[in-house]
């Protein structure tokens, strides 16, 4: 268990330090060599937890909630709008490499649903206009 | 926990059993069978499938028999309607996501899922599939094909690869309905550090893992009138092929096998055993050479490690590349046979080597990979200048390797009544072999065969007893000291070790790697028990399959008058007429090879 915890933390460290916010195969192989794990085993762990990505991601990660409360609050349209605004679909990264759009389970922000997080910053009461504002502010180099 | 006994009730009857047992083991001891799918004793005990559920008094939920320990006073019911209904539902859920392809599935005859479904009386599943069954086949490996649509995620292959083989190249990746058995970064098996040993095929309860089927390639060669197609059969095939035709485990079918392959239309029916004898002379000479050097204070790489098992070779290339100088430079018998066929034999028969096709029947899936290795084309290089061959004339020493199972399929396809075939013998000149060669098929056999020759060369005397019981058996790692007195009166104790199964091989290799190995000579086979339990052998649920097949090999050894490789008359002839002597220049050109240092994660590293 201790070792497992250790592995998860180490994977976080690798991902946080990575400028493409993902677990690069090279880094994972180095880690598994260090711990005597097989890379296949570590891959099993990386792909089990949604917070890790095996693919390179954009500078900012947008996690939009799709759980019940947000769903009731019309999250579906909000997601569609985000996709249109970013010109990419869920799971994808924008052409300029600025954003990756991901779905998330409950963010604990049901009272202000629909909600999303960009990196560590939460945004609630989303509307199409508000989304445009937020995204543009990031684009302008916030 | 200490071994205290407990009193339990199974289906109303009282039993006193060891308290450390699981419900499953206690029931089996009592002769009560419980269906299992994901369970393999000591290897896969994760309780993932749920098919083994039983009712336990005072438990709200059904308990998985394979992972639940018994306790004093436990009351178990194994066949209530609740249990039966639960098992059925579990099966129906599995079947909802399983292709209904039994008619054309290679595993149809041995599929455990099909059998359990039949036993439990499943007709149709009421459930809708939750998965898209359209994952592409993984055909990246020359040895193994994976159809993950058929996979029921039992984890048996993962555990076999990890616990028994210590290769650990596959794991369950993803979660929920997206879970699947996967290599690192979802690469194909052929792009990973898989050794092609095929042990995973043997444990898969369904048809998700099969050997790459090369039967049609053999048929095509046989149908081509321009080609002279010869076949070689490995030692372990003759003690297993019968099982494909319903004969008891351990049936020795050498004569019927020769008769059967002859009826398939081969132009030469030969025996890999011939090349096994050749291997002994080459490898024995190499060993004596290295040992003598070390005894004379010169440097040489000891222990010498055998090189017949291609799964083992790929393993050491990936995991212990620094130990490669310890590996014998001898090609495996399959490859020696191929090289000899397309040089010596072609010459004798006055055949253009381009028209000679060498098919091998092997207990092994890794042999399919071995024959494709780019360095295994020495016959082509040999003829290149002599016959002014062009690049497009290129040929391999061995053209196709098929498994014992595939040979069985070919014979069934043409309706051969195997059990009633007459006993026939192999053709000359590559069909003669000794008892030493036939035991190559069992773990320890190569060592025993080598020692029969080495002892005689070193001491000038025959072994006191030709059977070296000390190196036999099914224990994963075995060691022995063989005292010898050389012709000039020097006392030598040859220290030898034998490992089968790559997990055991790893233990001996760690020692070689850190310089603490006390041995002079090590035999390693990738598959537990040796070739007789290879990844290409008939799949058997007999727990004593290895012992039975080994007994058959040793009985054949005893029945053959010539029991030492150096006494094989055809081998004497090939040295007289062709190779001159073991380890000669020509022998080095055709019968020896080199290895490749493979970075374990090379392929993974290159994409980032
Ligand atoms: S062939 Fe051997 S090494 Fe490859 S996945 Fe199967 S068990 Fe593992
Ligand atoms: S491939 Fe076969 S052995 Fe491996 S998990 Fe799937 S069903 Fe089980
Ligand atoms: S056999 Fe017990 S859970 Fe699979």
Any idea what the CATH number is for the domain that residue B466 is in? 3.40.50.1780
Residue A138 touches partner B, C-beta closer than 8 Å: no
Start-to-end C-alpha separation, chain B: 49
The answer to whether residue B603 sits within a structural domain is: no
CA atoms of B475 and B470, how far apart (whole Å)? 12
- Dihedral pair phi/psi, residue B183, rounded to 5°: -85, 170
Domain of B16 in residue numbering reads as 5-79
B160 lines ligand 1 (CB under 6 A): yes
Would you tell me how many other CB atoms lie within 10 Å of the CB of residue B560?
14
Task: Extract the tokens encoding B327.
Answer: 């590996």
Q: Residue A1's pLDDT is what? A: 45
What domains, with CATH codes, occur in chain A? 2-48 (no CATH), 60-139 (3.40.30.10)
CA distance, residue B317 to nearest chain A CA (Å): 16
Q: State pLDDT tens for residues B221-232.
A: 999 999 999 999
CATH number at residue B54: 3.10.20.740
Task: Extract the tokens encoding B431.
Answer: 């069909």
Answer whether B277's CB lies under 8 Å from B506's CB: no
The answer to whether residue B558 sits within a structural domain is: yes
ipTM of the complex: 0.87
Q: Do A38 and B171 touch (CB under 8 A)?
A: yes
Residues of B in contact with A105 (CB under 8 A): none
**Interface list for A 53-82 with B (CB within 8 A):** 54
For chain B, 608 residues long, the average pLDDT of each consecutive 10-residue run is: 84 96 97 96 94 96 97 96 96 94 90 93 88 91 97 97 96 92 94 96 96 98 97 97 96 97 97 94 95 90 96 96 96 97 96 97 98 96 94 96 98 96 93 89 93 91 87 95 88 94 97 96 97 96 95 93 91 94 96 90 48
Answer whether B97's CB lies under 8 Å from B131's CB: yes
Answer whether B324's CB lies under 8 Å from B317's CB: yes
The answer to whether residue B553 sits within a structural domain is: yes
Protein residue whose Cα sits closest to atom 8 of ligand 1: B161
Q: What is the CA radius of gyration of chain B?
A: 26
Q: What is the CA radius of gyration of chain A?
A: 17
Protein residue whose Cα sits closest to atom 2 of ligand 1: B197
Cβ neighbours of residue A141 under 8 Å, at least 6 residues apart? none
Task: Extract the tokens encoding B286.
Answer: 């190499």
Kindly list the catalytic residues of B.
283, 286, 308, 328, 367, 370, 375, 531
Are B424 and B359 members of one domain?
Answer: yes
Residue A41 touches partner B, C-beta closer than 8 Å: yes
Would you tell me how many other CB atoms lie within 10 Å of the CB of residue B597?
12
The answer to whether residue B599 sits within a structural domain is: no
For a ligand 3 pocket test, name from B28, B33, B49 the mutation site with the most ligand atoms within 8 angstroms of its C-beta. B49
Cβ neighbours of residue A79 under 8 Å, at least 6 residues apart? A64, A66, A90, A103
Residue A7 touches partner B, C-beta closer than 8 Å: no
Residue B487 touches partner A, C-beta closer than 8 Å: no
Are B342 and B443 members of one domain?
Answer: yes
CA atoms of A113 and A124, how far apart (whole Å)? 6
Sign of CA dihedral B399, B405, B407, B409: negative
Looking at ligand 2, which atom is closest to the CA of residue B158? 4
B197 lines ligand 1 (CB under 6 A): yes
Last residue of a domain, one of B52, B79, B106: B79
CA atoms of A4 and B368, how far apart (whole Å)? 38
Answer whether B436's CB lies under 8 Å from B449's CB: yes
A121-123 sheet: strands from edge to edge: A99-104, A60-65, A116-118, A121-123
The answer to whether residue B288 sits within a structural domain is: yes
Q: Residue B606's pLDDT is what? A: 45
Q: Residue B526's pLDDT is what? A: 98
Closest CA to B294 of B263, B326, B322: B326
CA atoms of B382 and B342, how far apart (whole Å)? 9
CA distance, residue A50 to nearest chain B CA (Å): 9
**Furthest C-alpha separation in chain A:** 51
User: Which residues approach ligand 3 with their CB closer than 6 A?
Assistant: B 36-39, 47-52, 64, 66
Q: Residue B604's pLDDT is what? A: 42
Are B345 and B390 members of one domain?
Answer: yes
Are B507 and B539 members of one domain?
Answer: yes
CATH number at residue B168: 3.30.70.20
DSSP B141-177: SSSEEE-TTS-----HHHHIIIIIT-----EEES-GG
The answer to whether residue B90 sits within a structural domain is: no
Q: Residue A5's pLDDT is what? A: 57
Are B52 and B20 members of one domain?
Answer: yes
According to DSSP, the residues that pair with A18 across neighbouring strands are: none
For chain A, 142 residues long, the average pLDDT of each consecutive 10-residue run is: 71 91 90 87 92 90 89 89 93 91 88 92 93 92 64
**Three-state SS for B458?**
helix
- Dihedral pair phi/psi, residue B209, rounded to 5°: -120, 125
Q: What per-residue string of b and e applies to B150-185 under the rule 16 or more CB within 10 Å gives b?
A: bbbbbbbbbbbbbebbbbbbbbbbbeeeebbbbbbb
Are B205 and B251 members of one domain?
Answer: no
Answer whether B559's CB lies under 8 Å from B271's CB: no
Supply the angle between the helices B254-263 and B404-413 in degrees, to the nearest 10.
50
Say if residue B303 is preceded by a cis peptide, omega within 30 of 0. Answer: yes
DSSP B207-234: SSEEE---HHHHHHHHH-TT-EEEEEE-
Protein residue whose Cα sits closest to atom 3 of ligand 3: B47
Closest CA to B194 of B405, B368, B360: B368
**Three-state SS for B377?**
coil
Residue B294 touches partner A, C-beta closer than 8 Å: no
Would you tell me how many other CB atoms lie within 10 Å of the CB of residue B464?
6
Say if residue B351 is preceded by a cis peptide, omega within 30 of 0. Answer: no
Closest CA to B309 of B516, B582, B525, B111: B525
- The total number of structural domains in chain B stands at 3
Answer whether B268's CB lies under 8 Å from B430's CB: yes
Cβ neighbours of residue B480 under 8 Å, at least 6 residues apart? B468, B470, B471, B495, B496, B497
Interface size between A and B, measured as CB pairs under 8 A: 57
- Dihedral pair phi/psi, residue A31, rounded to 5°: -60, -45
Are B263 and B337 members of one domain?
Answer: yes
CA atoms of B71 and B50, how far apart (whole Å)? 20
Pairing type for strands A116-118 and A60-65 reads antiparallel
Answer whether A60's CB lies under 8 Å from A19's CB: no
Q: Do B173 and A41 touch (CB under 8 A)?
A: no
Per residue, the 3-state secondary structure of chain A, as one string, reads CHHHHHHHHHHHHHHHHCCCCCCCHHHHHHHHHHHCCCHHHHHHHHHHCCCCCCCCCCCEEEEEECCHHHHHCCHHHHHHHHHHHHCCCCCCECCCCCEEEEEECCCCCHHHCCCEEECCEEECCCCHHHHHHHHHHHHCCC
Are B511 and B553 members of one domain?
Answer: yes
Q: State pLDDT tens for residues B429-480.
A: 888 889 888 999 999 999 999 999 999 999 988 888 888 888 999 999 999 9
Task: Extract the tokens encoding B608.
Answer: 């980032």
Are B237 and B201 members of one domain?
Answer: no
Cα-to-centroid distance, B38 and ligand 1 (Å): 18
Find the CB nearest B171 among A24, A43, A54.
A43
**Three-state SS for B530?**
coil
How big is chain A, counted in residues? 142
Q: Do A41 and B192 touch (CB under 8 A)?
A: no
Cβ neighbours of residue B391 under 8 Å, at least 6 residues apart? none
Last residue of a domain, one of B79, B109, B143: B79
Find the CB nearest B604 among A29, A41, A44.
A29
The answer to whether residue B128 sits within a structural domain is: yes
Are B494 and B468 members of one domain?
Answer: yes
Query: DSSP assignment, residue B577?
Result: I
Are B372 and B249 members of one domain?
Answer: yes
Q: Do A40 and B182 touch (CB under 8 A)?
A: yes
Are B107 and B141 members of one domain?
Answer: yes
The answer to whether residue B494 sits within a structural domain is: yes
Q: CA angle, corner B92, sides to B539 and B211, nearest 5?
A: 25
């Amino acid at each position: 268990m201790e070792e497992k915890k250790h592995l998860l933390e180490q994977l976080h460290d690798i991902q946080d330090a990575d400028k493409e916010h993902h677990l690069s195969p090279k880094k994972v192989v180095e880690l598994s060599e260090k711990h005597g794990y097989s890379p296949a085993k570590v891959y099993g762990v990386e792909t089990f937890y949604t917070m890790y990505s095996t693919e390179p991601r954009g500078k900012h990660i947008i996690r939009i909630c799709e759980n019940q409360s947000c769903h009731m609050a019309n999250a579906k349209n909000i997601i569609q709008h985000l996709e249109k605004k970013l010109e990419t679909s869920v799971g994808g990264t924008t052409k300029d490499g600025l954003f990756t759009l991901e779905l998330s389970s409950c963010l604990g922000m049901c009272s202000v649903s629909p909600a999303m997080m960009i990196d560590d910053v939460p945004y609630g009461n989303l509307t199409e206009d508000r989304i445009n504002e937020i995204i543009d502010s990031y684009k302008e180099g916030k | 926990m200490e071994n205290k006994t407990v009193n339990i009730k199974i289906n109303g009857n009282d039993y006193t059993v060891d308290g450390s047992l699981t419900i499953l083991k206690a029931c089996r001891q009592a002769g009560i069978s419980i269906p299992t799918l994901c369970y393999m004793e000591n290897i896969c005990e994760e309780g993932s499938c749920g098919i083994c559920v039983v009712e336990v008094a005072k438990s709200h939920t059904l308990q998985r028999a394979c992972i639940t320990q018994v306790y004093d006073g436990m009351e178990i019911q194994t066949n209530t309607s609740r249990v039966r209904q639960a098992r059925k539902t579990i099966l129906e859920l599995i079947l909802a996501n399983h292709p209904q392809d039994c008619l054309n599935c290679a595993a149809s005859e041995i599929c455990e899922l099909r059998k359990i479904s039949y036993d439990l009386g499943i007709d149709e599943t009421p459930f809708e599939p939750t998965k898209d069954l359209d994952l592409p086949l993984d055909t990246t490996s020359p040895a193994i094909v994976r159809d993950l649509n058929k996979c029921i995620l039992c984890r048996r292959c993962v555990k076999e690869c990890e616990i028994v083989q210590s290769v650990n190249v596959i794991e369950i990746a993803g979660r929920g309905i997206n879970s699947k058995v996967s290599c690192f970064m979802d690469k194909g098996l052929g792009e990973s550090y898989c050794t092609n040993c095929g042990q995973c095929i043997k444990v898969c309860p369904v048809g998700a893992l099969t050997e790459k089927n090369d039967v049609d390639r053999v048929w095509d060669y046989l149908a081509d009138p321009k080609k002279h197609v010869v076949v070689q059969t490995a030692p372990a095939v003759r003690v297993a092929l019968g099982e494909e035709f319903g004969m008891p485990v351990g049936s020795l079918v050498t004569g019927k096998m020769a008769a059967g392959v002859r009826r398939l239309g081969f132009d030469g029916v030969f025996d890999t055993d011939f090349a096994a004898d050749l291997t002994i002379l080459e490898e024995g000479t190499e060993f004596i050479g290295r040992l003598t050097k070390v005894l004379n204070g010169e440097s040489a790489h000891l222990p010498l490690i055998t090189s017949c098992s291609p799964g083992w070779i790929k393993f050491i290339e990936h995991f212990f590349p620094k130990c490669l100088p310890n590996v014998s430079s001898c090609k495996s018998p399959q490859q020696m046979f191929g090289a000899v066929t397309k040089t010596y034999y072609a010459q004798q028969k006055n055949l253009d080597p381009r028209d000679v096709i060498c098919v091998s029947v092997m207990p092994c899936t890794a042999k399919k990979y071995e024959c494709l290795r780019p360095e295994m084309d020495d016959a082509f290089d040999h003829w290149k200048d002599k016959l002014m061959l062009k690049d497009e004339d290129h040929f391999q020493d061995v053209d196709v390797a098929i498994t014992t199972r595939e040979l069985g399929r070919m014979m069934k396809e043409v309706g051969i009544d195997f059990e009633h075939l007459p006993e026939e013998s192999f053709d000359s000149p590559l069909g003669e072999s000794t008892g030493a060669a036939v035991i190559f098929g069992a773990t320890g056999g190569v060592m025993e065969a080598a020692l029969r020759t080495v002892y005689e060369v070193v001491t000038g005397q025959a072994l006191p007893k030709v059977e070296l019981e000390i190196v036999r058996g099914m224990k994963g790692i075995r060691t022995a000291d063989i005292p010898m007195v050389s012709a000039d009166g020097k006392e030598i104790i040859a220290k030898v070790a034998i490992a089968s199964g790559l997990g055991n091989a790893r233990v001996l290799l760690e020692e070689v790697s850190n310089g603490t190995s006390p041995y002079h000579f090590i035999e390693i086979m990738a598959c537990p028990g040796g070739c007789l339990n290879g990844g290409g052998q008939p799949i058997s649920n007999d727990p004593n399959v290895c012992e039975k097949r080994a007994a058959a090999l040793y009985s054949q050894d005893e029945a053959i008058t010539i029991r030492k490789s150096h006494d094989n008359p055809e081998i004497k002839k090939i040295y007289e007429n062709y190779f001159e002597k073991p380890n000669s220049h020509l022998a080095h050109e055709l019968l020896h090879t080199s290895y490749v240092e493979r970075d374990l994660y090379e392929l993974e590293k290159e994409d980032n």
